[in-house]
Structure 1
């Protein structure tokens, strides 16, 4: 009798544990894009604006998150094939990407700017001055797409903004094209005065999360949750943490 009771109790606990388990949301990210997603050098934890935002959204939605680090060029193929459910990687909404994936409502409004060595600032005042010159960009980035529109520009592609900047410092290219907040965060953290930011005439852009095309259920969940977070002020608090006022 006792044996039967213990077996029944164990089965009940297993069922209870299963009932309490949260569904997993597999999130792809490129963890080298400060301040959106990166590994904190001190704690070795994945942090950033996008990371805080998706963690908060997942909590509201009742999901557990499992992050899948990968290169930027691997994210869209991964979500298209179902290897991940969601992209959280400072991803700019572009017409070309919209053919392949569905974006959520924007989570950040940005623009692409140039970073140049201070000694070159007199000669490079906008993207027009990059004609027939070598430019550094991240692989598969919005900056890379825009760089291809510059007549005669030669592109050097790297896996991270830090690699782009190192190549520029070594005179392997005359400028880096990247998102304004990423450039400014890099300069602020390094405290360097040997490089300067240059504004461009590139169009304003929107950054968002992305899901597999046609995954309306997850897309609608995310959009509802992100809107609620905006209205409650939760998003503003996360924004202030990473970008200030």
Structure 2
């Protein structure tokens, strides 16, 4: 049967309309377009920039090098973190005591200073999984002859220093309640108080003692208790309730840990093998 050109044109028009309608239905079903990436998914204070609060006086974990640039274990990690996130990195150097208040007031997005995840701190901030291990020890002058027992140091004639606002400060008060607790906002000042004889001992991380001795004539010794006063882990802190960033940080740490990169970074910066870390699940 012969088909007229008019009928053919009508069929083509109906076919075109059908294609347009089908496309419209498909667009409605998928929201009209592909979903765009969520802007600022980790709720950074400044989109495109990760602002990190640190105390750059804990060599080799975090410090200012000879050129005045941030360096150390934490610095290497946050640089890798910012690169993975695809954002710029802005490090803010504050006294230790100002870090949590600064985080709460949104001066930065996270704190990288090896904070212990304590119930008291969790009232103000949220934490990632641990990224750095610590062994807290007691150190004294090499000439000190006090017995290496808690009882010998837990007396009213002893004074023990620590970093103000740190878990070491709480450890002094808890372990040596009868001794005088002297806390300082600067870690080096706490060391020097002992080195110059104005205090008897200091509670501090073992690697910080080693670093202090390198620059100060090996003047202090670790008191030879049978085991460290306390072993703990440091975590990243973020603004309270920012689970998106906290979860991302935890995944980043696990990726570094399981790939072996965390151990390599620790060895290269701290100068010792990475102690056992909590397993990633």
Normalization by structure 1: what TM-score? 0.84
- Matched with 2:92 is 68
Q: Which has the larger Rg?
A: 2
Structure 1 residue 26 displacement after superposition:
1.0
Indicate which of 138, 160, 168 corresponds to 2:163. 138
CA separation of 1:111/1:98 partners in 2, compared to 1, >3 Å: closer, same or farther? Answer: farther
1:128-167 matches, within 5 Å, as 128-131=151-154, 132=156, 133-149=158-174, 150-167=176-193
Structure 1 residue 75 displacement after superposition:
0.5
CA separation of 1:66/1:126 partners in 2, compared to 1, >3 Å: closer, same or farther? Answer: farther
- For the 8 Å contact 2:159–2:199, the answer to whether it is kept is yes
1:26-175 matches, within 5 Å, as 26-40=51-65, 42-120=66-144, 122-131=145-154, 132=156, 133-149=158-174, 150-175=176-201
- Matched with 1:229 is 256
- Matched with 2:217 is 192
Structure 1: stretches of 5+ with no match in the other structure: 1-20
* Alpha-carbon separation, structure 1, partners of 2:133 and 2:164: 21
- For the 8 Å contact 1:126–1:201, the answer to whether it is kept is no
* Alpha-carbon separation, structure 2, partners of 1:124 and 1:29: 36
Structure 1 residue 98 displacement after superposition:
2.4
* Alpha-carbon separation, structure 2, partners of 1:160 and 1:116: 18
Indicate which of 238, 244, 250 corresponds to 1:211. 238
**1:62-88 Cα deviation digits (max 9, x unpaired):** 221111111111111111121211001
Structure 1 residue 141 displacement after superposition:
1.0
Structure 2: stretches of 5+ with no match in the other structure: 1-45, 274-281
| SS at 1:119 equivalent | coil
- For the 8 Å contact 1:22–1:64, the answer to whether it is kept is no
- For the 8 Å contact 2:138–2:229, the answer to whether it is kept is no
CA separation of 1:93/1:190 partners in 2, compared to 1, >3 Å: closer, same or farther? Answer: same
RMSD over equivalenced CA pairs, Å: 1.9
**1:43-80 Cα deviation digits (max 9, x unpaired):** 21111111111111121122211111111111111111
CA separation of 1:160/1:126 partners in 2, compared to 1, >3 Å: closer, same or farther? Answer: farther
CA separation of 1:193/1:184 partners in 2, compared to 1, >3 Å: closer, same or farther? Answer: closer
Spell out structure 1 runs of 4+ moving beyond 4 A.
none
- For the 8 Å contact 1:147–1:177, the answer to whether it is kept is yes
Count of residue pairs the alignment pairs up: 222
